[in-house]
Structure 1
Amino acid sequence: MAEEGRRGEEEDRGPGAAHRGFVLMEELVEKLKLLNYEEEVLVKHNMKSLSRHYFVSSPYLASNPGEQFYMFTIIAAWLINVAGRPFTEPQEYDEPNATVSNILAELRALEEADHEEEEEEEENMMDLEALKLPSSHAQSEPSSKPDRILESTVDAAEWRLEVERVLPQLRVTIRTDNKDWRIHLDQMHQHRDGITSSLRDTRSYLDKLQEDMGKTLEKVGSREKYINKQLEQLIQEYRSAQAKLSQAKERYKQASGGETERSRVLAEISEELEKVKQEMEDKGSSMCDGAPLVKIKQSLTKLKQEMVQMDVRIGVVQHTLLQAKLKEKSNMTRDMHATNIPEPAAGPLA
């Protein structure tokens, strides 16, 4: 029911009522910028600038209610102080209801003060009307009696006091609308005039600076030519010395390259010489030493022993083979005799 009633109210106010909050928020941000809230509030509390729709409640915008409330209380306290009312800035962990009550109380006090000022202005306007009446009578009297000299019966001191009392209230303050194109046009003209005047003064300084720089450059050029002329012989000598130095460096580079190659060849020859010396030392030590001869004699002795053992083994094998041959031969002879013996006749015995 509440949502239907809210929708009915929005339909009664018009189709653009839902976007009214965005417009009001943009106007609020512009007014705060005119009051220089960025330096007075944001820099002091180390906060970020407000977006164009910071306080707008919309499902399409991400919001943090706690942060929004704290920002609102800080800005409200600052605006109350700017309006001339002393108000202590609320802290982040203060009671929200108490903070809102204090802000509302200060706003009511401001409304009452504005109301009293309006009443005083109305009274002053009535006093001005009363002052205008004698002046109108005074203007009408000369027309009726032109020969009469007007003389004031009001005390001069009282008149001055009355003028001093009424003068601050006679000042008319016109509140300008920042969105009016005429104001922007006037500002553009003012800025253009300021730029033109500044450009006129700056151009004279720049022209003078250009003239001084041109004179200085001419002096520097002439001095450079004089120095080059005086030092031309030394420069030529320096160039020739530099050329000789480059040639000497080139020869040194070539000689250094040949020396490197010769050093490499010398190292190889030295290495081969060391190898030859080592081989000669090995051969000389082997020729002077009797150890090889002793080894040869030991080897010959061992060979003789092995040859004796081998001869014994050969004799044993030959003896065994001879026995085997003799045994085989005796067996063959026995078999031959056994086959040649005739069988006895069976007849006579029967």
Structure 2
Amino acid sequence: MGDDGGKGGAATETPDVSPGASFQVFVDMANLHNKLKLLNYDDEYVVKWRMKPISRIHFAVQTNAGDQLHAFIALAAWLFQKGGTKFDKPSEDDDQSVLLANIIAQFKKLGHDVNVSANKLRAGSGEPVVFILNRLADDALKNSGFTWRSPEKPDELPDADDAGEKDDDNEIDVNKIDEEMFNKDNDQDEYEEDETILNMEALTKLGLKSNSVGAAAMSEPEIRPELIMESTTDATEWKLEVERILPQLKVTFKAENKDWRARQEQRLTYKTQIASSLKDAEQMLTRFHTDIAKSLEEIATREHYINSQLSDHVQEFHRQQNELALAKQHYRQCSTGITEKSQQLAQITAELQRIKEEMEETGQNVTDGGPLVRIKKAIEELNRDIVRVDVRIAVLEHTLMQSKVREKEEANDEKADFLLNEPDFD
């Protein structure tokens, strides 16, 4: 029981996949390439869209992910357009993630079932890419009206049993004839040139002519060489037939690369050509060598003469160079002092400018009459305010006086009323 369970577990781990399943993508890619040829993609895609042609394994193996992804997007867009779906031609500036998402969405709208993400298509190769392109190519073929014709079954030939037994000698085996002629030629002397030989033995093996009549076959006697030599064809008809066939005939003689005699002859020809060319080349090279040697000798002599004549000038030049170096060093030292002095001058100039600005601001403040005018205006405003306050005070005093007079009158009236109404106790 335990052993059976272990065997069952091992069996489930073994994948039930054909060893050639990994090569199925190459078969699908070859089918895609054939479909593209039927869609005339060489003219409408490669030429008009200015794209690189793809090979039969372009999307089956990964070579350059960027180029393959761009080719996949462009080819898918072209197949969408061929299939009647509106899809703009992509450019290099477009976002490839958006384009892949659009391709998957349009592919699903066409009714195809695909469970693949844009990340798997980003590699630009593999089974998902080939699958999508194959389905799009099928849709494009349907839209263009292309249909696969059903295979045509050839007419069946009569069986050997019905036609009777045939002798193997009745058939002409061209390979066998060539082999016999080649073997016969090898038997000859190897130094003799090859000649055209008519193999009469092969001609004697011409079979019986079979004419099928219904299910039976009649045979004629064997054709003998002596009967072949006697022709019953009209000479005029023969000439007309030759004139008709002659333009279509093309005789070519192919050199045998394995023939040592041809190679030997070719080697001797090359040797002669090299020897004749080498003589001219040697003469030219010798002349060039002589001219160059003379020129080098003249240059060396002239150089020695110039050095001897210009030795004093060279020494004077070196002395002037030393003086120039000393002058440059002194100049750098002076330049360093000038730089420091220039920085100090810049600081003093900035300080002087600041003091001048302060003096100008102080002078403007002294001569400016604006504050005095503002003081006068303020005094006038204060005077107007004082007048308004005095008027208000007068009004308030008048109001207060009236209220006091009214109160006094009321008090007097009350006192008079009290005296009049006072009771008499006498």
**TM-score greater than 0.5 by the shorter chain:** no
The TM tier, using the shorter chain, reads 0.3 to 0.5
TM-score by length of 1: 0.35
Write 1 or 2 for the structure with the bigger share of helix: 1
Q: Which has the higher contact order (CA 8 A, sep 6+)?
A: 2
Greater Cα radius of gyration, structure 1 or 2: 1
TM-score by length of 2: 0.30
